[in-house]
Structure 1
Amino acid sequence: MGVRVSAIGIHPVKSTQIRHVRRAEVTPAGLRGDREWMVVDVSGEMISARQEPRLFTIRASNAVTGGTDADLRLDAPGRPPLELSTPTSGEVDVRLFRSTHLRARPAGDEADGWLAQHLGRDDIRLVWCPTPQRRGAGQGDLATFQDGSPVTLLSMESVAQVDTWATEAARERGETPTPLVADRFRPSILVDGAPAPFAEDDWPRVRIGDVVLRTDSPVARCAMTTIDPDDLARGKEPLLTLAIHRRWDGATWLAVNLVPERVGTIEVGDEVVIG
């Protein structure tokens, strides 16, 4: 069967629930509809689920995920849904990780109030990316509010190997292991059928249908992967295991960053051609 796309993940608002879709349009700035909105504080600094795990409880919908005719719909337990249109005016400076400065349009008071009530804090702002901006070392690659490169890819074989390592270590400690799922790593594209765990590290390019994506770098993993998206409990895995088996240059690594070289549409089940 070879390597095939097994899942595609869209995150309409950065750090909110993953929305799995059957097909997606790959643009120069990543998957259409992915991470085009972001939550920031009053200074413009990104707020992610690392600081606010309750973002995981928000289900964001758009034209790509379906379920709404609005540009963005927000749903959360115990809250009335909110439908929003993309803002048409005003721009502010926002930041990812304090150092990456980007431009965004504020969503407005209604969106801010909805988020403030759900998250229980009054320094929340929702912003939208009107134009993908140049990112990366060469400043030649485009992205919306992704951490770095516009697309990430992960193989099920890599997830399975990390899960095996973590399970063995937990049993040695006398603990009950918790199965590790790929969604902890929030990949844009999940593939199955790789010849070995972490094979994607060495793929220079992948072609999916007419789409061609260049491998840019491995993905450094952060503490967000240690938060259970269902009950919001924090643990030590998978970073504990990655620190033993996948640590170099002062970080832990899993999955790869990709940059689109040829755009088009991808679907679950598509063959992935390497090289």
Structure 2
Amino acid sequence: MAGIPTFAVPGRFLGVARQDRGAEYVVAGIPLDLGTTNRAGARDGPAAIRRASRMLVDGAHPQHWVEPAALPLADIGDFPLVLGDLRASLARIEAEAATCAHLVALGGEHGITLPLLRALARRLGAPVGLLQFDAHLDTWPENFGQRLAHGTVFRHAIEERLVDPRRMVQIGIRSPVQREVWDWTLSRGVRVITAQEALEAGPAAVAAEARAVLGDGPAYLSFDVDALDPAFAPGTGTPEAGGLATWQAQAILRRLGGVAFAGMDVVEVAPAHDMAEITALAAATMAWEYLALLGAATGRG
């Protein structure tokens, strides 16, 4: 934003002025963290991501030569939730998401992805492909006796046929996991690229495999910031050592031209655990990278 000091950029994502749901691309915050299993605080993620996004408005993307803030983009604020009621909040999120054509969601915990996928699959009339950056599989049948939690999201998504597991790739996985959960995930056809595998192969190889798995159909991007090593994203609820560097995640995303993305979310930013805004800036950057990819794909560069 020419002529505006960084600290004075308006408090919406990338400082965008438009706020209507009819925009081609819609940003919404979803401040939910009722289903977290370790450190709480992701309800403050949307505000922190918006604040950090001020650093991304000084010019165009240096590879795609797209200025994401100049796209037909709106920030409609935060979705309303039902205080203290996880199941009712998920239903409310699904209803809100159904009114947006192409949603970029700022979380919140990873549980928000389930209602977003429900709304998207219903609108498209078919399961979608899924690209998931994460330290965790999130295919547990339950978390501590609860069927609805941030670690069960993709078990539900697969069982409800919201995603096609044969067109699903998980990048950055490295947490402790029960063998039966690991085997169940692989048996459904999911391609799991562990953090170690991704680091050894390099971004170009990982991106090429992700494109091959996702194929030509519509796909969804879900970016959990704990895919990044805690050195680059300490402000998250369930950090795991040994993750990707921020530049490596960016390098993978920048090579995903041609994927028919239909929506994305970035989740699990818990800013109280990172007073320097490192995590929030990483999350804002991933959404910025995604929008630049969309802009390049539609010839707006």
Computing the radius of gyration from Cα coordinates, the structure with the larger value is 1
Q: Considering fraction of residues, name the structure with more strand.
A: 1
TM-score, normalised to structure 1, is 0.25
TM-score, normalised to structure 2, is 0.24
